[in-house]
Structure 1
């Protein structure tokens, strides 16, 4: 907890800092990358940096954490920090890197706010930063310990045993260990990081959900090719540079650098009814969950809802049907924006996903994955159907602006 003096100082200065936090974080990244270009090249997602998403996520996390020191909400604090800690662990972040962030963040605060940053103000925000940082360091140490690795030592080489097309623009890779021993198990819904060396020498890292069952000795990830796109100012974002690299260049017997699995979107082991909602490539953590449910002959009610552009765009379409058919109490609903020559039928609709006619059992636990606007819309629909907010869980790859949004 913050000291009483710092709490009052944060209360007094939070509006001013909050109003300037976007400028502060943008300047922070410029300063840090100027001094440590290797971080931008080899650790941070430079597509998110160019779009500004990472800056907004950091700004939101700092502001939200500071605000929650004034009106404590431990569950919300845990949500924000758990997601950050898992992401950091999947990158192999170490405690010393928090000192680097501190240096350039506070340089940016002083430069943006100028004379308003008195020694008392600086001390209070310093206390906020280190409270957040030390909590994250502790959480990450626990994640490393649970994974059976030393702090930051999460990387390993694996071999591609199989590459298979799951749709026209999507491939799955089955990854196996270099020596034939089983790869570590994981919880259904978790992800791993993949690092690739791009043509310009940059080492870029992205996260991919494990789309196989934890019982397998191997891991499977599914990658959708995403092309570059142009911003309003005419600049180009290589938003899918890692996915595109994997799609075009990685084949059977190739060696890939990946991490131990992490992630806090995990299937809880109880008898609560399940609602698995996905759109597009967001189906991947659901495939891992469904594979686990099918292999363990789980008998709880399971509703699977998926939205996609068309049947031909739907990755794992046939496998999804097979898994649902293996579960005695599972039902499936699919929406396609374009059904082509197919006609709507039970469980198959044309258009966008709509929960209006979907019956949801009391006590249902919902898991969401897909584009952020899709998930936010589904969350509102679930709340309208009296699903408790604490029972709505989600996964988003890229800067997480949901967890830090106002409740």
Structure 2
């Protein structure tokens, strides 16, 4: 791996390296140079010092995904970026546990986040990883779990004898001499979606993590698709087949946040479900969570709120009254104006606005460029007030809606 070659991991896989890494406190950028010098002065090799400092930095960064578990784990930069958050991995593992699955193959296990979650629920796990350095990291991360084994192998060639469940997180990027490039066609993933479907066709309980931007027409017909949002950030769509697919659910939006979990689901296919009415901008404007939008559940939320869409093709909802919902963020509508840069510039000046937050949907306007045009200072104006503008269109008309976050 380009970002973490074997020589960045190998020095840690012996008692001296492991003990030195364990002796370090939380990583601090302003202390790194001094710590580097003191460790070398103490007689540690430059290679070991470089490895432990890199690992210390990655561990600190990983706390956002893994919490206190990060302090005992080994990471690579690319592996950390692609790793599933532990709170989400726990949801994956729960699916297999509730379905009574006994032995799961984690094909393409990466650093082992999902394998850790599965093993913690007393499920036997065989974690398969083709990259040698990443497999070494997964082996270290899974040491506390006697019911987990790491195998250095190609996921598509691994024999599944005695295994009744499979979890996959296909690689969605390709690496070349010019860097990494994101792949969009599920058949270009490693392994491809057709391989996942072949496992499901054999009757195994199968779950697979895909990118949240997966088009609806690429989602296989015989699975449940669950989009997951963490703190408002849509992280994945998980496809569930056979025993781990919930009956009566075709698509769902799962929102995880400080207040807990909320889920909205539908039994209808993507071209089905209820239709929401279309009406004026009034009362309160609601911005649905990205997982709700991806799962095609905006109309369901609008009906829950007793509201309507402002345009049938745009994911903004209005309702006359303020309703509490975990599935959308609410704003009080203050004023609706035609989209006109000159008029908006005068409005900003009249309102004494110094800080302007701009949101948009259904229009090609770039918020950063518009902010430069509207505020005298480019990014921050001379006024003392703060305002939020929502740019969208209603039919063919472009509008700017002044709103107040609730």
Query: TM-score, length-normalised on structure 2?
Result: 0.24
**Higher strand content, 1 or 2:** 2
**Higher helix content, 1 or 2:** 1
Query: TM-score, length-normalised on structure 1?
Result: 0.24
